[in-house]
Amino acid sequence: MGCNKVVTLSKSFEESPVPPTPDYSNPDHWAALPTKADMADGLPDGKVADALVASGELADRQTEAAIDVFFLYPTIYTYEPTQANEWNADVNDLELNDKVEQSTIKHQASLFNGVGKIYAPRYRQGHYYMYLTPNKEDAEKAAAIAYADVKAAFEYYLKHYNQGRPFIIASHSQGSQMGRMLVRDYIDGKTLQEQLVAAYLVGWAIPPDYYDSIEPCTAPSQTGCWMTWNTKGYGHYPKYYEQGLNRSLSVNPITWSVDQPSAGYEDHLGGVNAKYALLGPESVDAHVQEGLLWVHPPKIPGAKLARIKNWHRADYNLFWLDVRRNAQLRAEAFLSR
């Protein structure tokens, strides 16, 4: 999700203890499960949300859902470490777990509760510093720990929960770093590809030819495909643009069509703000530009929004209702085949 203050870790990876391996038979090692009450079950607040709830359009439908959603959250471990394990998070860290649940599970994973049963494993995510350190070997080792957990969680999910059901892979930022590899290693060209509704690998640079068999999503109701977008202020190219974003394939999360790279405010369905209140429609525009998704300042209260150049934290939030309805559309198309 990013962080405002850059935290430099005091130890090398080898000097930092590796936290205990998660046990995915333990419900506490999942940030969200359809069998327990968690933040993924929630719905936004506000008058717009209340009206949609009253109409029956906005509801938690996990109980009757015919598909699953395997969700991988972004980097929330961004602050000064409070435990000896600096490079990778401990899934038993109650402080961090609360931050995960109150941010990404509440604001991001919940948007999929209208379409599927949500499974969000806790994993030993790498500290945000692994993206900044000049020591790439340390960064690779931390990422390897995180990916080992993601693979173990997915294997446990397949064996104990999935039961052959269709599924969506959804993720953000570091979660999408892990998610794109998970799709490559377990789904692309494999038997599981037949169960893939779509992969929302948001907030990570992915080139169009990354997969051998799975095609990029180019139309709103297309299934068995993948997509990503990386949101920036209009006209902004970040300093790290040439490190992969310039080669990334971005979809517009309002139009969902390669034939319509631009969408005006009038096309937007709705987002959520920092307080998890549903914003009304026509709040955001979006334009695909050379691997990026550009937005003008959202039409919501807050003068400071006009100065924001990096909207990475809000890749999902800005388009909360657009993504929710698109996931429902793709699920309906998949189930009607």
**pLDDT by residue (tens digit) across 204-238?**
999 999 999 999 999 999 999 999 999 999 999 99
Model confidence at 303: pLDDT above 50: no
Mean pLDDT of 75-90: 95
Q: What is the pLDDT of residues 138-167, one digit of tens each?
A: 999 999 999 999 999 999 999 999 999 999
Mean pLDDT score, 118-136? 97
Alpha-carbon gap, residue 209 to 103, rounded angstroms: 32
> pLDDT digit string (tens) for 231-280?
999 999 999 999 999 999 999 999 999 889 999 999 999 999 999 999 98
Q: What does the pLDDT look like over 181-194, one tens digit per residue?
A: 999 999 999 999 99
What φ, ψ does residue 78 adopt, rounded to 5°?
Answer: -120, -10
Nearest to 222 by CA among 251, 248, 202: 251
Cα–Cα distances (Å) from 45 to 24, 26, 274, 276, 278, in that order, read 32, 31, 11, 6, 6
Confidence (pLDDT) at 306: 67
- Residue 37 in this model has a pLDDT that exceeds 70: yes
**At 75, is the pLDDT very low, low, confident or very high (cuts 50, 70, 90)?**
very high
In this predicted structure, what is the pLDDT of residue 304? 63
Neighbouring CB atoms inside 10 A of 301's CB total 8
And the tokens for 2?
């990013």
| Counted domains in the chain | 1
Residue 263 within any structural domain of the chain: yes
Residue 193: the pLDDT is 98
> pLDDT at residue 65 above 90?
yes
- Per residue in 11-26, pLDDT (tens digit) is 999 999 999 999 999 9
Task: Give a yes or no: residue 21 inside a domain.
Answer: no
Residue 2 reports pLDDT greater than 50: no
Q: Is residue 5 part of a domain?
A: no
Least confident of 96-110, 305-319, 320-334: 305-319
Q: From residue 248, give the alpha-carbon distance in Å to each of 15, 106, 208, 243, 310.
A: 35, 28, 7, 10, 17
- The model carries a pTM of 0.96
Q: Give residue 334's pLDDT band: very low, low, confident or very high (50, 70, 90).
A: very high
Residue 279: alpha-carbon gap to chain centroid? 20
What pLDDT is stored for residue 258 in this prediction?
85
More confident residue, 70 or 305: 70
Q: How large a percentage of the chain has pLDDT more than 90?
A: 92
Alpha carbons 61 and 65: distance in angstroms, whole number? 6
Number of other CB atoms surrounding residue 235 within 10 Å: 11
Report if residue 65 sits inside a domain: yes
In a domain, 322, yes or no: yes
Does residue 86 sit within a domain? yes
In a domain, 177, yes or no: yes
Instruction: Indicate the average pLDDT of the chain.
Output: 95
> Does residue 22 form part of some domain?
no
Domain that holds residue 66: 27-335
